[in-house]
Every structure is written in structure tokens, then in C-alpha cells.
Amino acid sequence: MLFRLTILGSAAALPILNRHTTAQHLRINQTHILIDCGEGTQQQMLKYKINALKIDFIFISHLHGDHYLGLMGLISSMHTMKREKDLYIFAPKGLDEIIGIQMKYSRLHLNFKIHLQEVCNDAPTVIFSQSHFQVWALPMNHRIECYGYLFKQISNKRKTKPEYAQLFETMDSNTIKQLLSGKNVLNQLGELRYDYELLTQLLPVYSYAYLADTAFSAEIALFLAAQHVDWLYHEATFLEEDKERAEKTFHSTAKQAAEIAVLSKVRNLLIGHFSARYTKIQTLQDEAKQVFENTFLALEGSQHDINL
């Protein structure tokens, strides 16, 4: 199962040379997801060969410009490229009005339909579910209404337990197929012959949490720990030496992001949303790695396979 993240933008507030504002592309099998859509996202998609017409879902964390100002341009381009399939957008209250007023005054009549779902919850909540993944909205602690998102794979597929490899060699293909579909195999008398729960196990599933602009929140970290999250993206706008600035703006330091990773018990941490004041973002990674070793920079163009 493909579960791949591509970083499109990692800058906070302002685009600077070689760093664009926040945007990420997440692919789960054949489903293409855009997480936030800062200014310049279209150019980044072109650069990293992500087809805008394949985007199925867009999740906007909040309505600060560095997280959504590229959205209307992307929608307009989709229209110009003759998109026909529906587009699903999840965002806090207000985005529908923003899109509507721009379409009104540009007299834009789209070739496709937009389904815009307002995100509004004060606790972690499932806001979307499909056969192979689900999405949770996670309230963030920011200056305005803001949400992180948790993307979790769902799988009912099973694999054989290696300790029973010799037994499976004696079975016919129909018997194996039945066990792997989660069904017991009975004999001619209707008695249990093979127990699928004993001989097989569910394929592993993986998850990715995107924590947008937020102050430190141990409550969210404990929730993620209970969900057994594999990869965590957490904003790390400032260094610890600028912690006072982080607190005033409801942002986090690299050290705090790492502390959240420890509390969340994740395997890997990605940090991003870097302030333009830092020309050498390696210092943010160094600070985080002192607390959580498996810390990576959300470098533009970098890809991360969540299920590896």
C-alpha cells in the first residue's frame, strides 16, 4: 500500500528564497490529498510533478494567508485545465465565503463541483472515512481557529503467520483465499477445520499526523500516543532562545516539537514552518534531535514513505 508524503512548502508567514509557504501532498494508494495550500503551491506541484487534476481532497488547517492563499489560484487552474471530477475541501468556517466572493467578482463558473465541509470540533473527531483510510480533525492551540489532521490507514486484509508456513503449503488455493478473507474453513460436517484468527494476522496499517500552527499541547500528544501514530509533522517556527516570541504568537519551538514527539510515542518527527529569521534551519533540527533523535527537516521536495 502506497502511503507517501511530499513536502511542497516549509516557510512560516513569508515565502523566502528557496522556501515556500506551507503545503504538503499526501498520496494513499490512488488517492491524492493536499494539506494546506500556501502561495506558490501550484509552482511547487509543477516542480515536483504532482498533477493538480489528480487532487481528490484538500485539507486547510486555518485561514492565515500562508496556509491557504494559493487555493483560489489552484481552483482556477483546475477549471482552466477542464477538470470535471468533484473536489472535496475541508476547512474552518469562512473559507466558503472567501471562495464565493472571489468567484462572484471574477464571474468564474466552474466545470466541476466543490464540496466544502466546515470543520468545527473542540475534540479530536473523525471527519472523513473511506474504505482504506480515515481522517481526524485535531483542534490546535493557535490565535485563530485551527486544526491539525490525522490520516490513518484502514485495512481488513490479512497475511499468513510465518510460524504456520508449512501448514499453508498443504492447503489448496481456495482454502488459503478463504482464510485471508477473514473466514473460517469448515469440514464436510460443518465443524471448524481452520481458524482464520489463529493462522492469519491483519496487515499492518500506518498513520500520519499533521499538526499545524499551534502552541505546545500535551493533550493532543497523548491522543496521538493512543492512536499509535507513525509519523508526526509538527510546526517548529522558532528556536528555544525565541520561546517568548513563540508563546506570544501561539507557535512552537523546535525543542517543544520534539517533546511532543516523545509524548506522542511516534517513530519519526518532521519539523517545518520555519521562521524567515533563520537562514540556517539545520539549527532547528539540531535543537530537536537533542530531545528526539529521529527528527527530520521538512525540506521542500523531500519525500517520506509513511509505511516504511
Distance, in Å, from the CA atom of 180 to the CA atom of 295, rounded to the nearest integer, reads 37
Distance, in Å, from the CA atom of 305 to the CA atom of 230, rounded to the nearest integer, reads 11
Closest CA to 277 of 239, 233, 249: 239
Q: CA angle 129-141-133, nearest 5°? A: 15
- Catalytic residue check, 66: yes
Q: Roughly what angle, to the nearest 10 degrees, separates helices 254-264 and 282-289?
A: 40
Distance, in Å, from the CA atom of 252 to the CA atom of 229, rounded to the nearest integer, reads 20
* 3-class SS shares of the chain: helix, strand, coil, % to 5: 30, 30, 40
b/e sequence 182-206, b meaning 16+ C-beta within 10 Å: eeebeeeeeeeebebeebbeeeebb
303-305 and 295-297 as β-strands: parallel, antiparallel, unpaired? unpaired
* Catalytic one of 36, 66, 213, 230: 66
**3-state class (DSSP) for residue 305:** strand
Closest CA to 59 of 143, 140, 155, 154: 140
Closest CA to 273 of 5, 12, 7, 6: 12
Residues belonging to the active site: 66
